[in-house]
Amino acid sequence: MKKIFLLLSCCLGLSSLNAQLRFSLLTQRDANKKAKANVVTLVDGKDKIDYTWNDTTMRDPETTKILFEAQKGDTLYAFLYVATFSKVTTTSINGKCVAGKEKRLFFVKWDRTNNQAKWKNKSIESCLLNVTLMSKEEELNDWDKQSPLVIKTHKANAFVDLTFDPAKFWEGIKSEQ
């Protein structure tokens, strides 16, 4: 068995998988040191893939965690958790969320033969997007990885249940209102 390394400038945690997977999230900055984009990098042996997006809500990762990983054929599946600080500028919303947090779940389906990945993410807590995490944080931390994980959130005027079923991991995160 090879090891998974969860990286955020240094090694934070270990898990096991039949592939050596490294995962990191960094915030890129412009010349004025303002956060401009986020980059998620997955590395598996000699293969590497990046996902870069201009994000108006997230900056400076605080916690990153691989919740689940599996391999089916040449495709690697990863279910990731990321907690960051809210990205607030002096011109945005009059200082709201200056000490806010942003939390997301990412589902990655990486075809290593073609080195292409599909990335999907869901906000589970966001000061800037008005998403409230209704589930307890311990449910994520203490999840047994055998039973389905259900995360309850509230966004705008609706309650939303996000479900990840490890028995059907290839289906990713399902959303129900």
Per-residue pLDDT of the chain (177 residues; tens, 9 = 90+): 233 333 332 222 333 333 456 667 777 776 776 666 777 777 777 777 777 777 667 777 788 888 998 989 989 899 988 888 887 765 555 667 777 788 989 999 988 888 888 999 899 998 888 888 999 878 888 899 999 999 999 988 899 999 999 999 999 999 987
Output the six-digit token pair for 22: 């490294």
Burial class, 110, CB count within 10 angstroms (exposed 0-12 / middle 13-18 / buried 19+): buried
On whether residue 153 sits in a domain, the answer given is: no
On whether residue 111 sits in a domain, the answer given is: yes
Contact 57, 102 (CB under 8 A): yes
Domain housing 53: 2-127
C-alpha pair distances (Å), 55 with each of 1, 51, 121, 177: 36, 12, 12, 25
On whether residue 154 sits in a domain, the answer given is: no
H helical segments located in 16-152: 137-141
Residues 6+ apart with CB under 8 A from 119: 40, 51, 106, 107, 108
Residue-level pLDDT at 35? 63
* pTM of this structure: 0.76
- Sheet strands side by side (includes 35-44): 11-17, 2-7, 21-29, 35-44, 47-53
Residue-level pLDDT at 57? 76
H helical segments located in the chain: 137-141
On whether residue 94 sits in a domain, the answer given is: yes
On whether residue 134 sits in a domain, the answer given is: no
Residue-level pLDDT at 151? 93
Closest CA to 130 of 102, 95, 161: 102
On whether residue 100 sits in a domain, the answer given is: yes
Q: How far apart are CA 132 and CA 156, in angstroms?
A: 9
Closest CA to 39 of 11, 15, 13, 58: 58
* Dihedral sign, Cα of residue 66, residue 84, residue 38, residue 151: positive
Number of domains in the chain: 1
On whether residue 136 sits in a domain, the answer given is: no
